[in-house]
Structure 1
Amino acid sequence: MALWDRFKESAATMQTQLTAKKNDLKSGAFRDASMAMCALVAAADGSVDPSERQRVASLITANDVLQNFPAADLQSRFDDNVGKLQADFAFGKVGVLQEIAKAKKKPAEARAVIQIGIVIGGADGDFDKSEQAVVREACYALGLPPHEFDL
């Protein structure tokens, strides 16, 4: 099986796992960490063009698990994080990773944040090296081993 086929299968499995845990993923820390993760993946290459921003925003509103939260609130948090990353990627990334780390206290939420990052990263058909790298960094921020997610 090709690497990409394995990844697509893995992303589909992760989305199924996330949906199964939907009722457990309602905390503010999970919400904030998820939006920070989405912004980090969107800006992984150092920039976010308007079409990419719109695509990720659409994925956020369509994600079953994130429907636990008001769409406007999610959009606002995503936009704030993207703004930090666009203003100064290196400095913004530190703040965004701190947001992600808020989910560290609850292992199920921490894993779900990583799974969301992988699902968002692979949604365009290409989970590229820069996206994998920022998700790997998020694993470290959450105290999770990247190999658990094939990173």
Structure 2
Amino acid sequence: MSSLLLEKLVTEVRRYQNKDFLHAAMAVCAITAYSDGEISIEERYSIDYAIDNIEALKTFDPVRAIEILDDYIYLLKSGTEGAKAELYKKIKVFEGKYKRSRTLLRVAHLIICADREVDPREQKEFAMLCNLLGLEASKLWRQIENQKAL
């Protein structure tokens, strides 16, 4: 088997394994960025940064990730009944999977802090996401803040 074919196969398997994570991450991005009723340019840049730098998302075409994100944002902005609940389901898949949950919440933190102003609605959404994933919000927030300070 050629190394090129093997490499392509490994990439495809990673995509398959990480497909749910891609959808959960884009749901976290959409919910967190829109939690204060608007999406700032800083938040959008933070989302792009996350897509380009999170190992589990690197196997995906960034254009596809942005398409999913835009669909989720549209869903939230349209006010469709049950839109947020639908996105929460995509995130809840990772309840009990500590490392994946923590990564999703780090993405949320990155977006919340992007414009250097933490809105109470964003903080409330972070707590909701933590609860959804079975993690303690205040403890995780402190851990992330402490890691940022290093």
1:28 to 5, 13, 19: 19
Deviations 1:85-120 (A, max 9, x none): 101177322111111111225221111111111012
Question: Are the equivalent residues in 2 in contact too, given 1:37–1:116 (CA < 8 A)?
Answer: yes
Q: CA offset at residue 53 of structure 1?
A: 6.8
1:103 to 89, 94, 119: 94
**Higher Cα Rg, which structure:** 2
Matching of residue 55 in structure 1 with residue 56 in structure 2 = no
In the alignment, structure 2 segments of 5+ residues that lack a partner are 1-13, 143-150
TM-score, normalised relative to structure 2: 0.70
Matches within 5 A, 1:3-82: 27-48=18-39, 51=41, 54-65=44-55, 66-82=57-73
Distance in 1 (alpha carbons) for counterparts of 2:120 and 2:97: 28
Distance in 2 (alpha carbons) for counterparts of 1:58 and 1:35: 11
Q: CA RMSD of the aligned region, Å?
A: 2.5
TM-score, normalised relative to structure 1: 0.70
Distance in 1 (alpha carbons) for counterparts of 2:80 and 2:116: 24
Question: Are the equivalent residues in 1 in contact too, given 2:43–2:114 (CA < 8 A)?
Answer: no
| Structure-2 residue corresponding to 1:122 | 113
Paired residue type of 1:101: K
Q: CA offset at residue 61 of structure 1?
A: 3.8
Question: Are the equivalent residues in 1 in contact too, given 2:35–2:122 (CA < 8 A)?
Answer: yes
In the alignment, structure 1 segments of 5+ residues that lack a partner are 1-22
| Percent identity (aligned) | 24
| Structure-2 residue corresponding to 1:9 | none
| Structure-1 residue corresponding to 2:74 | 83
